[in-house]
Every structure is written in structure tokens, then in C-alpha cells.
Amino acid sequence: MFLRRYALRDLQGRLQEFTPEQMWDRVAGFVARAEEGRPTWRARFRELLEGFRFVPGGRILFGAGNPRRVTLFNCYYVPIREDSIAGITRWMVEAARTYASGGGVGTNVDVLRPRGASTASAGLVASGPVSFMEVFSALTGVMGSVEGRRGALMMTLRVDHPDVLEFVSAKSDPQRTRIQHANVSLRVPDEFFAVLDVDGDLRLWFRTPREVVERRVPARRVWEALVEAAWASAEPGLLFWDTVVRESTAQYGGLEVEGVNVCGEVPMEPYGACNLGSVNLGAFVKDPFGPRARMDWSALEEAVQLAVRFLDDVVTVGAPRHPLRAQREASERSRRVGLGVMGLADALAMLGVAYGSEESVRWVEECFRRLRDSAYAASVELAKEKGTFPVFDAVKHERSPFIQRLPAELRRAIRRWGLRNAALLAVAPTGSISLLAGASSGIEPIFGLRYTRLVGGQRLPAQHPLVALYRHHTGRGDPDWPTAHRIDPLRRVRLQAAAQRYVDQSISSTVNLPASAGPEVVETVYRSAWEMGCKGITVFREGSRAAVLETPGTSPVAVCTLCEPGLPPDGTSTP
């Protein structure tokens, strides 16, 4: 994993690094260029990276100090500027440039007029957004087919667009098999559930310069089509858009969120960029697997504060490497970062806490409260030292319910000194960087003690690294930890919701379901996620589509590794 995806190569492709230690030296030195006391911060960043205590996003690991012109930001939101051929082709050029620099792209296709709407072109009527989704997917696949380039795409649609039913079935329809290189998610407001509850009709509409396209369909019909498609093909996912907007920390100054990145954990303004990194929670457990097992909270909080500074410095040193000028301007305007976690399931196992249990939910709340408070304290200190993000407005910022839930002392500090970063926290899926670190991914449970991974067409046996550590520490055989296929899906949702209360952006997580689960289970998971306050949710039912992981006795299960560089083009793209 390290040699194939992250080790530095020269312009002729020859390896220049052979160990992660060499990579950490390179990354720490490059990021510390943003600091006046460069040697001091280089040493501190290097210590932070040691042992995978903190793992920057894959683009940072690959790009920092790389002689190639590659971005340090994993994903961008690139809007379709207008409903026209010029708007579509402009998007394709901007997306291609972003892919070529190593970034993934999210976009909203509901900008495009519905199928059958009148046009001024020779075609007389529009072919609709789904037809262009096939084109966008093809572009993404081509750009991602060359080693070293990325092709990762998220396309979303608002639920009241006239082509919503066609969109919902796009990935499960055998006639639409060409949409292979993209995630799709539906943006749903609170009002949709109110209409659904009374079996009402949903108004579908789109306004063009020539006409208003409008019709009504039963909300239940849209909901059932969505559930059926997710059950059959693991997509679309759901984005609870009113919750996203309501909880956003900076709905002003051109930072109003409009779309999301590839895996949905970062809602962003037009041309916004996600700058990711994760603290490895398992690395902060003392005396694991025994009666004295405990979290070193002070060490974790110190690491979080240093990681915020690291990611803020990435905004600075990475500025010249954005593919588009608009992306650089957006990133420097917001100084948005996305600090998250990996190894959460590992930490719970080390502490003897069952993932999904009541105790685990309480622990997650405590952990994420500490992460939130430490990250925000760090951003205040950076604002005092280096200045706030350019459009910071204390009064407008405090209108966010998320900011209002911060401790009073932190709120007072923000009023006085401001914040360096418009947003700070996001939990990415951490696919290949978790494998690199030997940790469980994101906030997901341990997938399996032993499993087979599909890499480049080969099935490779793997064992979760924590198993060997457990056997070493305890002298016992395999542990009996709850793995992905053995956890009640609603417990998964509840744990995600507990974390979401302390995350100012969002969380990427996929709820695994057994092959025997019916559509009603998907319906319950999706509805519960909205009721519990999640910002988004996806499911994966065993056997519903091709996959990259499989455990003994189960069908393969797909995982989202789109937020990491250099993935083999195996066609899997589950958020």
C-alpha cells in the first residue's frame, strides 16, 4: 500500500522513499514551510505523524514535497454554473483539470433542466440530467484509468426535481449501467418527510427561461423507489439537506453550502475544497485489552490541537497547487479543514467496549466532545496568532446552532479573537490510509477479523492488525468482537448520530446489511438517520453489487475508498 500509493517517486517514476518514516520526514518538512519557526514545527509535526498517531489525507501524503503538480486536497465541490451546453462543457473542463491534479469532484446535477423541457437548440427538448450523468461518469472513468490520476465523482439531485424518479433508479436500472464511476445521493429537506407522513403529493418543479415545468407525484412513490433502489444497488444515499444547512457554521460571506464532496462528509460552497486528516484513536489507548485499559485523553487533545495547526498550514502551502483559481480563492476564503478519526472501533475493542452498545455511544459522545472542544480551542489560538479566516463575522457565525452548543468559555473566546477556520471537523471513510495505518476505518466497526480484499483483480487474504495485538497482549485466541455483519443497523445509526452532534461538517458511514434484509430495513435505517439528526446515510446490503471486501461466509461488501489516491479501476464506488 505504501509503495504503490504514497511513496515519493521522481519524475521518471523511480522510487525515492522506501519506508513510512521517510514519508513522514518529507510531509512534516513540507507542511512546516508555512511556519516562521520552521525547524520547531517540523519536529513537532514529525512527532505527530510518528506511528500513525495522526494520518493526513492521502493527497497530502502523496503530494507534499512531490515534484509533480498535484493538489494536497482530496476533493472539491465544482458547480455546474448554468443550465446550458456552455455550462456543461465548462464543468467537464474544470472537473478534468481537477482529476488531473489528483482531486475528486462533487456536483449537483439538478441545475440541468428535466427530460422533455423545451430548449433553444436543434434538439428541441432536453434529454435531462441523468443522460449527462452518463457523460460525467464516462469522463471520470477515463481520467481515473491512468495510474497516478484520480477519477472520483459524487452527483446529487434535489428531491423535488422533475426527473427525481429517473435519478433514483439510475444506478439500479440495467439500462443505465454506464453510470459506473460515480456516487449518487438525493438531497432531501425536512418538508419531504412531513408530506410523506400524511401520504401527500410532492410538487416537482423546474423553471427555465422559457417555461415552468411542474407536476405532482405521491411522496410515497418517490420514497418507495428510493428505498427499493438502495436495497437493490446500495444507492442513492441520502443527504438531509435542511440539517446540513441548519448546522453549517458559516452560512454567510460566500461560504453558504451548496453541495458535498465525493463521500459526503464535507458540505461546501462553490469550488470549496476538503483538506482532510484523521487522528488514530487506537494509538491513544493505554494498557489495551486489560482491566487498566484507558484513553490518554490529554495526549489525544494535544494531538488534535497540533493536527488543526498542521491542516491549517496545508491550506497555506497547498494554495499554489489547486487546479483552478476559483478553488484557491474559495479555500483561502474559508480556510476550511476536515479533522476526523480512524481507529474508533479499535479503541473500543482495546477498552473492552462492544461497538454499538450503550456504553460505546456514551464513549463516542465523550470522545467527540473532547475532539470538538480541542479543535475549536486550537482554531481560536491560531486566529490570535495569524488572523481569522478572511470573511469571519462573529455575530453571523454564532447564529449557527452548532456554535451555540459550544461551551460558554469557547464562545466568549470566539467573540473576542475569532476563528482561523470556517469549519474544522469531518469524518471521512479513510479507506486506504486506514489500511496503511493498520487501523479500522473512520467511525466504522471492524469489518472482519479475517477477510479477502480485491486489489487490481486479485483476491488477497488479510487479517485485521488488531487481532495479532490482542493475541500478543492476552495470550488467547481470536477475540469475539462485534464486526460489521453482526451489529444491529440501528445501533450503527445511533452511534453515528452521537458523533454527528459534535462534528461541524459531516460523517461518511455505510451501514452494512445482510443479504436477507428486506427493503423495510433500508426504510427504517434511512428514516431513523433523519430522525436522529444525521446529515447523511448510506447502506450496503450484501450481494447487491460488486465489492472489494469479503469475509468467510458472506457475500462481498463494497467500501468507499474514493477519498484516497491511485485506486484500481475496479468499478466500486459506494459512499
Catalytic positions:
261, 263, 265
| Distance separating alpha carbons of residues 427 and 263, to the nearest angstrom | 10
Helices (H), 14-152: 20-31, 38-49, 58-63, 85-100, 129-143
- List Cα–Cα distances, 538 to 166, 258, 492, 493, 547, in angstroms: 19, 20, 11, 10, 15
* DSSP, res 321: G
| Distance separating alpha carbons of residues 77 and 107, to the nearest angstrom | 6
DSSP notation for 267-296: EE-TT-EE-EEEEEGGGGEESTTSTT-EE-
Closest CA to 61 of 569, 565, 567: 565
Helix (H) / strand (E) containing 212: strand 212-218
User: Omega before 20 cis (within 30°)?
Assistant: no
Measure CA 60 to chain center. 15
Task: For residue 258, give the amino acid letter.
Answer: E
| Distance separating alpha carbons of residues 220 and 394, to the nearest angstrom | 42
Cα radius of gyration (the chain): 23
| Distance separating alpha carbons of residues 45 and 27, to the nearest angstrom | 9
Q: Are 275 and 311 in contact (CB under 8 A)?
A: yes
Q: Is 121 exposed, middle or buried (0-12, 13-18, 19+ CB in 10 A)?
A: exposed
Q: Who contacts 342 (Cβ-Cβ below 8 Å, separation ≥6)?
A: 55, 278, 279, 280, 281, 430, 433, 434, 437, 439, 440, 441, 442
- In 1-33, which positions are buried (b, 16+ CB within 10 angstroms) versus exposed (e)? ebeebbbbbeeeeeeebeebeebbbbbbbbbbe
Q: Are 411 and 395 in contact (CB under 8 A)?
A: no
Q: Are 192 and 203 in contact (CB under 8 A)?
A: no
Angle at 80 between CA 258 and CA 175, to 5 degrees: 105
